[in-house]
Amino acid sequence: MEMKIWQVPEPVPPTNHGFKYSLFYGSGGERLIGYDNERGKGDHKHLSDGEVPYVFTTIERSIADFLDDVSFARGES
């Protein structure tokens, strides 16, 4: 598991918040869960079966949602 969060002076288009982030959980060299925002794509999450948009509200909520997805993937919830 790796979490990188930067507070940026201007939002990363097309987002409207001041964070750039990459939340990663993987096993055996494979990404199982990822949350990030990138220029042109905006906020989204990667699940083992694809990529879906993610509605960002706060960085704390994003971390909590990410950790919930990781717990689910591990069979802990």
Length of the chain: 77
Kindly give, in sequence order, each residue whose CB lies less than 8 Å from that of residue 51, ignoring residues fewer than 6 positions away.
44, 45
Mean pLDDT to the nearest integer, 49-73: 95
Query: Is 33 in contact with 69 (CB distance < 8 Å)?
Result: yes
pLDDT computed for residue 48 by the predictor: 79
- Please check the confidence at residue 55 and state whether its pLDDT lies above 90: yes
What pairs with residue 27 in β-bridges?
Answer: 30
What pairs with residue 52 in β-bridges?
Answer: 45
- Of 43-47, 59-63, 73-77, least confident by mean pLDDT is 73-77
What pairs with residue 25 in β-bridges?
Answer: 33
- Please check the confidence at residue 77 and state whether its pLDDT lies above 80: no
If you average pLDDT over every residue of the chain, what do you get?
A: 94
Distance in angstroms (rounded) separating the CA atoms of residues 9 and 72: 34
Domain that holds residue 66: 2-73
Number of structural domains in the chain: 1
pLDDT computed for residue 40 by the predictor: 92
Closest CA to 51 of 36, 64, 66, 40: 36
Q: What is the pTM of this model?
A: 0.91
